[in-house]
Amino acid sequence: MKLQRSAAAALVATALLAAGCADRGGTETETSANNGDNTAQAAPVSNDFGDLSDICSPGNPSGAPAQGVSAKEIKVGVMSDVGFTKNSEFGDAAKVFTAWCNDAGGINGRKISANVRDTKMMEARQRMVESCRDDFALVGGGAALDGQGTEERLKCLLPDFPAQISQTANVGSDLQVSVQAGGPSYATYAGYFTWLIKEAYPASAGAVGLINGDSPVTKTIGEQTAEALKGVGANVVYNDLYPAAGVSDWTPYAQSIKSKNVRGLVFNGSFSQLAKLEQALTAADYKLDWIDTNSNAYTADFISLAGNQVLSSQNNLADIGGIYPLESAASNPATKQLTDLYAKYAPGAKITLPAIKAFSAWVLFAKSASSCGDDLTRKCVYEAAKKETAWTAGGLQAAVDLSVADKPVTCFNVEQATADGWKPADFKPGSNGYRCEAPVYQYTGQYGKALTLADVGKSMADFK
């Protein structure tokens, strides 16, 4: 569902949980090498990331070939709901990447300035208007109500390299290159769901349940999830909503799940609410075969909130979408380098799954922009990114074909929550840590469509 469950679940809490965020200082925050540690800048810095060479490098640029580009600087926007969520994951990713890249010389000598556009949840359109006025591109961000700004983005021909996308109008929209696997016509979790009900827990296939937060974003995702589950062979016996503001007592929900003998449960919503539901299920002495937490719960915070009793009783699983597991960073050079860069440039900042996707988007942008040389234009960067047919961000994720916007997911990987933290589940991965050649399910329901250039009276001929 590339109206992503993981993204929108992370974006929906009281009314909606946040997509990603940045510094808390105001509508716009600028992050550049000037914000870094001067002592850190004195040491030699590698311009390679993972298995990718010369991502950032010095040079002698000249001229101002595009909006937001001068001989010295590239202005880039980062969408964020930070004013509402107080979550700085996207701003932190921008800070870490730009500080490292600028220390390595920038993009052929041009330094990157990241302008965090704080939507405060409800002001996506206003922030997009500002980004259209000032920025060269959008990189490594996301907003719960991102569809509110898509029309403005297309009108001003602003390319987008997002970390997360949420609303139908924005998912797969034109001039967008997403590092996340999957397209809007395909069920993102078809491979994962198939593994759950046909391989790992076949007895659960006849009794699967679904709970969604009661908001426009998650209700649509819930409809897609129900279709996908049925499409891969599950029988959905329980489908319920919970108030987006949260539930004070989950006991009635737990009793309904128990009365319907639900064996597997998909939860689309806040992991803090899921923890409370699981506490109610455990108190009712009811254990499911599996609970799909959604990847929003892939944090130490969920482990802490759920507690040892719940984690030893319930079987919590999450498909983290082909991102290499953070807890196994020592075994993967790109992930290890990412953790080292965070330790250097943003010590104390949390590295979340959305933050890793944001960093992947930044690496994509920088690699593409570097290939353009001195004549840096939006069209050049966009077209360079679209040529990536096996994007891994240097090894941060399973390979994704970026040349096609609407394509099925090919690889997945599953994590299990334990009292000792998240660990890779026994999902029979290949040597690369992923399960690939996943089954494909294409939606038959109508869930809306993404905006195109034609919808705003533009075409690729206008894109420069």
pTM for this prediction: 0.91
Sequence-distant (≥ 6) Cβ neighbours of residue 285 within 8 angstroms: none
The string of pLDDT tens digits covering residues 48-102 is 999 999 999 999 999 999 999 999 999 999 999 999 999 999 999 999 999 999 9
Q: Rounded mean pLDDT of 394-399?
A: 98
Residue 146 has what DSSP assignment?
Answer: T
Residue 227 pLDDT exceeds 90: yes
pLDDT of residue 43: 55
Residue from 431, 177, 165 nearest 149 by CA? 165
Residue 5 pLDDT exceeds 80: no
First to last CA, the chain: 31
Residue 33 pLDDT exceeds 60: no
pLDDT of residue 217: 76
Residue 282 pLDDT exceeds 50: yes
CA distance 438 to 254: 32
CA distance 178 to 448: 19
Average pLDDT, rounded, for the chain: 91
Residue 7 pLDDT exceeds 80: no
User: Which letter, b or e, does each residue of 293-320 get, where b requires 16 or more Cβ atoms within 10 Å of its Cβ?
Assistant: bbbbbbbeebbebbeeebbebbbbbbbb
Weakest-pLDDT range from 211-215, 385-389, 402-406, 419-423 = 211-215
